[in-house]
Chain A
Amino acid sequence: MPVRRVLIGFGSAGTGTEDLDMAGDLALALEVELAGLFVEEELLYQISELPTSSAIGAQGQIVQGLDKASISRAIAGRAQACRRALSRRAERGHLQWSFEIQHGEAASIIAARVKDDDILLITGTTASTTLRAKMELAKQMRAMPGANLIVPDFLRRRSGPVVVLHPMDHDFLDMAARVATRLEERLVLVARGGEGEAGPRLPINKLSRVTAEQPAQIAAVLSSLRPRLLVVSRTDAVLADSVRAGELLRAAGAPILLVNS
């Protein structure tokens, strides 16, 4: 399961500094390119033409004049800010980087650009607001063929183990091991009872195993482990249901890396 780049999809609403840091850490861990894809969301241009257009600022204030021109200016500014943030992060880690701006609908644009050997991270600053909405987006992305995906969480931890849920594939275990080593964290494998002793082929000092069967058990384990990153196969059954996936995400309180396996 070779990875060529970590692709971070920027929505129009923010730079997603926290998510960018995580993407940078991953790119550094895997020694791959850090790529940015900024989508000027068509949806925002649409709503600017609606007569109901006005916004509520983050502090609760009413922002008038949500017209097409001001939206356009704001989005262009945001794109530049995202580019600067990505370049700074990449240069700090001496990473190769690229940045691209596209116009259209976020999910479809990203789906079109992402490749099998990418790790895709969609920032928490797309037009979708809530966790549930984000999970909907994740569901769409999960349906896309081939890509690895990171679903970020609101809170980013600075320490905690890299947890692999239901380890089956050596490639993806190896990738998780590399990330854990790079981040100087331990690797925890959460396995079902009959899954045997599968482990990474790469040597790793801090490795432990935990057994959990039911989704509730898994959620409890994840909550106690307080992972820095959760790595799950995108075909894992626990993600089949978006509600269940949401609960899992909440329990982990960490970004989830969905990998093809």
Chain B
Amino acid sequence: MDMSNDATIGDAGHEPESPPPEVPRLLPPTALRVECDPACLGFSTTSELEPLSGFFGQDRAAHAIRFGTGIRQPGYNCFVLGPAAAGGQRAIRAFLCERARAEPAPDDFAYVNNFDDSRRPRALRLPPGRAQLLRNDMQELVGELGISIPSLFESEEYKSRRRAVDEAFENAQEKALEALETKAGSQDIAILRTPMGFAFAPKENGQIVTPDDYRKLPRDRREEIGKKIEALQDELRSALEKIPQMDKERRKQIRSINNEMARSAIKVAIADVYEHFKDIPAVTSFLSGVEHDLVENVELFLKPTGTQEDEPAASTVIPARDTRLRRYAVNVMVSSGDCSKDAPRVAPVVHEEHPTLANLIGRIEHVSHMGALLTDFTLIQPGSLHRANGGYIIIDALSILRQPFAWDALKRALRTEVIAVESALDQMSLTSTTTLEPEPIPLSIKVVLVGDRQLYHLLAGLDPDFPKLFKVQVEFDDETVRSAENLALFSRFVANVIRDWKLRPFDAGAVAALSEEASRIADDSERLSLHTSRLADLVRETDYWAGEAGATTSAREHVEKAVAEQTRRADRIREKAHEAVARGIVLVDLEGEKIGQINGLSVLSIGDFRFGRPTRITARVRMGTGKVIDIEREVELGGPIHSKGVLILSSFLATRYALDEPISMAASLVFEQSYGGVEGDSASAAELFVLMSALSGLPLRQSLAVTGSINQLGEIQAIGGVNEKIEGFFDVCAGRGLNGQHGVIIPASNVKHLMLRREVVKAASDGRFRIYAIRHVDEGIALLARRAAGERTCEGAFPAGSVNGLIEEKLRTYAQLRRRYVTGAAIGKTGDDKIDA
């Protein structure tokens, strides 16, 4: 034994003894469930209550959201977190809507054609409500021009000017051909039109010379004809070459006439639009572009003729149906309505349920035309960021993270403070079709992300942009103090749900029962759960059962019915587990006493539903080297916290008994018939008791079940799920028949968490079921072994025959045996000296 070991033993030996054990406290029925007195609530039914505005029991969150929405600096977006946040979304939305009502409506935005580069549509910013007016004005303008321009081209003035140009061209063309024909005729040459062009042929006496006659002509005559034809061909070619140029000039003149005629009509028509928007320079600049473009493209208002482009057909087009006239449309991306109406205009609050990239930042749609995908600025669709611009948007954090590119797009928009419509396919270069690059729209928005705590901390840890962009943490509490003030707020919350869903009113008894259930959900009789969505579900279900019962007001029994039905719907597994115990398939003793065997309690969770059940824990000991084998751990069914509990109890044993001897036992602990994982340290007290039983040789009462964790000082610590555990054991015992000996030992620090079912409380009142609260391991072992644990006397020894005394005696025996064994082995003795532990 080295010095360090001595020092350790010595230190442990000088540790102050644990606090003196107290007598286990048999809990009175009043400690098992805190009931709410309906009379204290101060109302008969919820119809009398004022609606609850704001947040119920979420002062921290309310303060944070007020700060987050109030501060107008970039990056101060909010992340709402906590399990209760999902239920709190309604309150957040209500808060944001209330706030938005006091804020001005944001500016309108619209996309219009960029007449200089149609691939880059212009974004127009207009005062609230004016975008729709501009769109309407432009529709009217185009409609008016659709009538006035064709009429203009039907007018006599236009026709005569046009005819003059046409005739001048025709005359010039005709004259050129006639002159050539006359000249050719004077030289006895005919000009003929053939499928391949103009041909020349010699004539004699007005008739074309036949090939035979031609061959009979003298050589010099034929040569002369050839030269004449050659010269005439040159002249004709020269004349024909001028025709396209002449025609071009004709078109130019006609275009000039068209433009001149159209300009006046357009100027008159567009004047009203200018007048309406003279205070917005961006719009007047756009209108100037429209005016210029209208003049240049006046033929768009004339029905396609299939002839030359400069020849307008004087037929009315229908602008609304003519895709060519979409260039003058106004694509309103976001508008606060028609400003000519009296509807109130406030800042927007948008809840994006499906935050895909396209839903968030908008998209550019395409239409199929002759097999090609085409688009223009009218096919730009707004996203929720557009709709929420100037206000607030609520997004589920997990949803946006699940959508490809959406999270990055949101961060980019917040960082750059603009919304740039872009396609995911373009980002991946997967499409090569024609698309647009719309001018980005300035963004001023508060984003409220809603997610759980783990997600928040993951983002904060892994995404460097996140802390810069979401600086406001809005954390929702899971529970609040069950004070009179909070009960009043709770009642108003229930009234809100009833009002929102148009349910029957709750009487005070029903609200009281609901508050008890809220405490039960919180697992704490001194707290109220703030999982408002779960509570709202219960309110709605209570209303249903009240309806089924034909009641006009929901009462306590309807709440209890709703709770019972919730349990019934979910308790198939619980039923099977308890049935397995009842049928003796899972071995659990509920009577008598056994050495090295105890009933532990565990909780199983299936979704929101949790239930407890007893599990037999056994321990075996023998002489060894001081190791406690946790069989669950050995087979990797035990989790780290469970292993920690086992190590703590090993340490407790090692530092409490026979401190002057090496610990010389070998023990094994197991959860019998447990084939799934075991996690948590809530069975560590039971494991210690069963080990003490095995060491002391004292049997333990099987009518009691134990839950609680221990520390190295032997103190019993609080555990979770105490209600479910007690009820689980109660159900199993009740199945076999309660005999007044059945009960559960729980940590004293869990007493405040007790919100047991009424039938459990009733059984306790009747003395058929007992619940003990203990603070120290000695209280528990005394209760279980029906023998005093024993305290060290002033001589340093435990009283003989006490539990602790027996344990220490057994450990000393093991130490002596071990010494003998080790000594024997050292001098080479063989197996005949081996000792049976």
| A51-B214, A155-B170, A158-B313 known; A56 vs B197 contact (CB < 8 Å) | yes
User: Is B241 an interface residue, CB under 8 A from the partner?
Assistant: yes
Number of interface residues of A (CB under 8 A): 45
Instruction: Specify which chain B residues have a CB less than 8 angstroms from the CB of A50 in the assembled complex.
Output: 201-202, 209, 211, 214
A12 touches B194 (CB 8 A): yes
A13 touches B170 (CB 8 A): no
Interface digits, A114-157 against B, CB 8 Å rule (1 contact, 0 not)? 00000000000111111111000000000000000000001100
User: Is B497 an interface residue, CB under 8 A from the partner?
Assistant: no
A198 to B: closest C-beta gap in Å: 28
Contact of B225 among A52, A125, A158 (CB under 8 A): A52
Q: What are 13 contact pairs spanning A and B, CB under 8 A?
A: A44-B199, A51-B222, A52-B200, A52-B225, A54-B199, A56-B199, A56-B233, A60-B237, A60-B240, A66-B196, A66-B199, A128-B192, A155-B166
| A47-B208, A71-B195, A127-B194 known; A56 vs B236 contact (CB < 8 Å) | yes
A242 to B: closest C-beta gap in Å: 14
Instruction: Specify which chain B residues have a CB less than 8 angstroms from the CB of A54 in the assembled complex.
Output: 199, 233
Interface digits, B175-213 against A, CB 8 Å rule (1 contact, 0 not)? 001100100000000011111111111100000111100
Residues on B close to A: CB < 8 A?
A: 154, 159, 163, 166-167, 170, 174, 177-178, 181, 191-202, 208-211, 214, 222, 225-226, 229, 233, 236-241, 244, 305, 313-314
B194 touches A44 (CB 8 A): yes
Residues on A close to B: CB < 8 A?
A: 11-14, 43-44, 46-47, 49-63, 66, 70-71, 74-75, 77-78, 125-133, 154-155, 158-159, 226, 253
- Other A-B pairs beyond A52-B226, A60-B240, 5, CB < 8 Å: A55-B196, A60-B241, A63-B197, A125-B193, A158-B313
Q: In the bound complex, what is the Cα–Cα distance between A58 and B222 (angstroms)?
A: 27
| A55-B198, A60-B238, A133-B181 known; A13 vs B233 contact (CB < 8 Å) | no
Instruction: Specify which chain B residues have a CB less than 8 angstroms from the CB of A126 in the assembled complex.
Output: 193
Q: In the bound complex, what is the Cα–Cα distance between A129 and B199 (angstroms)?
A: 11
| A125-B193, A130-B174 known; A55 vs B211 contact (CB < 8 Å) | no
Q: In the bound complex, what is the Cα–Cα distance between A218 and B181 (angstroms)?
A: 28
Q: In the bound complex, what is the Cα–Cα distance between A71 and B194 (angstroms)?
A: 8
A47 touches B233 (CB 8 A): no
| A43-B208, A66-B199, A74-B196 known; A129 vs B177 contact (CB < 8 Å) | yes
Closest 8 CB pairs of A and B: A55-B197, A49-B211, A74-B195, A60-B241, A60-B240, A13-B193, A57-B197, A60-B237
A52 to B: closest C-beta gap in Å: 5
| A158-B313, A226-B159 known; A13 vs B194 contact (CB < 8 Å) | yes
A130 touches B177 (CB 8 A): yes
B222 touches A55 (CB 8 A): no
B201 touches A13 (CB 8 A): no
Q: In the bound complex, what is the Cα–Cα distance between A74 and B197 (angstroms)?
A: 11
A62 touches B194 (CB 8 A): no
| A50-B211, A53-B199, A130-B174 known; A43 vs B192 contact (CB < 8 Å) | yes
B178 touches A132 (CB 8 A): yes
| A52-B226, A155-B166, A158-B313 known; A58 vs B197 contact (CB < 8 Å) | yes
Chain B residue at minimal CB-CB distance from A74:
B195
- Number of cross-chain contacts by CB at 8 Å: 120
Chain B residue at minimal CB-CB distance from A11:
B193
A226 touches B163 (CB 8 A): yes
B82 to A: closest C-beta gap in Å: 74
A59 touches B241 (CB 8 A): yes
A253 touches B167 (CB 8 A): yes
| A60-B238, A158-B313, A226-B163 known; A71 vs B233 contact (CB < 8 Å) | no
Instruction: Specify which chain A residues have a CB less than 8 angstroms from the CB of B211 in the assembled complex.
Output: 46, 49-50
B154 to A: closest C-beta gap in Å: 8
Q: In the bound complex, what is the Cα–Cα distance between A59 and B210 (angstroms)?
A: 28
Contact of B240 among A46, A58, A70, A127 (CB under 8 A): A58
Instruction: Specify which chain A residues have a CB less than 8 angstroms from the CB of B210 in the assembled complex.
Output: 46
Chain B residue at minimal CB-CB distance from A13:
B193
Contact of A46 among B166, B208, B236 (CB under 8 A): B208
A183 to B: closest C-beta gap in Å: 14
Q: In the bound complex, what is the Cα–Cα distance between A126 and B195 (angstroms)?
A: 10
Instruction: Specify which chain A residues have a CB less than 8 angstroms from the CB of B198 in the assembled complex.
Output: 55-56, 129
A87 to B: closest C-beta gap in Å: 19
Chain B residue at minimal CB-CB distance from A68:
B211
Instruction: Specify which chain B residues have a CB less than 8 angstroms from the CB of A77 in the assembled complex.
Output: 195
A128 touches B193 (CB 8 A): yes
B25 to A: closest C-beta gap in Å: 105
Chain A residue at minimal CB-CB distance from B226:
A52
Instruction: Specify which chain A residues have a CB less than 8 angstroms from the CB of B181 in the assembled complex.
Output: 129-130, 132-133
Instruction: Specify which chain B residues have a CB less than 8 angstroms from the CB of A49 in the assembled complex.
Output: 211
Instruction: Specify which chain B residues have a CB less than 8 angstroms from the CB of A127 in the assembled complex.
Output: 192-194
B195 touches A57 (CB 8 A): no
Chain A residue at minimal CB-CB distance from B189:
A52
A52 touches B229 (CB 8 A): yes
Instruction: Specify which chain A residues have a CB less than 8 angstroms from the CB of B166 in the assembled complex.
Output: 155
B196 touches A57 (CB 8 A): yes
Q: In the bound complex, what is the Cα–Cα distance between A13 and B237 (angstroms)?
A: 18
Instruction: Specify which chain B residues have a CB less than 8 angstroms from the CB of A51 in the assembled complex.
Output: 214, 222, 226
Q: In the bound complex, what is the Cα–Cα distance between A127 and B194 (angstroms)?
A: 6
Instruction: Specify which chain B residues have a CB less than 8 angstroms from the CB of A155 in the assembled complex.
Output: 166, 170
Instruction: Specify which chain A residues have a CB less than 8 angstroms from the CB of B229 in the assembled complex.
Output: 52
Instruction: Specify which chain A residues have a CB less than 8 angstroms from the CB of B167 in the assembled complex.
Output: 253
Q: In the bound complex, what is the Cα–Cα distance between A154 and B247 (angstroms)?
A: 15
Instruction: Specify which chain B residues have a CB less than 8 angstroms from the CB of A75 in the assembled complex.
Output: 195
Q: In the bound complex, what is the Cα–Cα distance between A253 and B208 (angstroms)?
A: 31
Q: In the bound complex, what is the Cα–Cα distance between A58 and B236 (angstroms)?
A: 10
Chain B residue at minimal CB-CB distance from A17:
B306
Q: In the bound complex, what is the Cα–Cα distance between A47 and B189 (angstroms)?
A: 12
B178 touches A159 (CB 8 A): no
B564 to A: closest C-beta gap in Å: 80
Instruction: Specify which chain A residues have a CB less than 8 angstroms from the CB of B201 in the assembled complex.
Output: 46-47, 50, 52
B240 touches A47 (CB 8 A): no
Chain B residue at minimal CB-CB distance from A128:
B193
B311 to A: closest C-beta gap in Å: 9
A129 touches B192 (CB 8 A): yes
Q: In the bound complex, what is the Cα–Cα distance between A59 and B167 (angstroms)?
A: 21
Output the residue of B178, B192, B194, B313 with the most chain A CB within 10 A: B194
A63 touches B233 (CB 8 A): no
Chain A residue at minimal CB-CB distance from B209:
A50
Instruction: Specify which chain A residues have a CB less than 8 angstroms from the CB of B237 in the assembled complex.
Output: 56, 60-62
Q: In the bound complex, what is the Cα–Cα distance between A59 and B193 (angstroms)?
A: 14
Instruction: Specify which chain A residues have a CB less than 8 angstroms from the CB of B191 in the assembled complex.
Output: 129
B196 touches A70 (CB 8 A): yes
Q: In the bound complex, what is the Cα–Cα distance between A47 and B214 (angstroms)?
A: 10
Q: In the bound complex, what is the Cα–Cα distance between A152 and B196 (angstroms)?
A: 22
Instruction: Specify which chain A residues have a CB less than 8 angstroms from the CB of B195 in the assembled complex.
Output: 12-14, 44, 71, 74-75, 77-78
Instruction: Specify which chain A residues have a CB less than 8 angstroms from the CB of B202 in the assembled complex.
Output: 50, 52
A20 to B: closest C-beta gap in Å: 14
Q: In the bound complex, what is the Cα–Cα distance between A131 and B182 (angstroms)?
A: 12
Q: In the bound complex, what is the Cα–Cα distance between A25 and B191 (angstroms)?
A: 32
B314 touches A56 (CB 8 A): no
Instruction: Specify which chain A residues have a CB less than 8 angstroms from the CB of B208 in the assembled complex.
Output: 43, 46-47
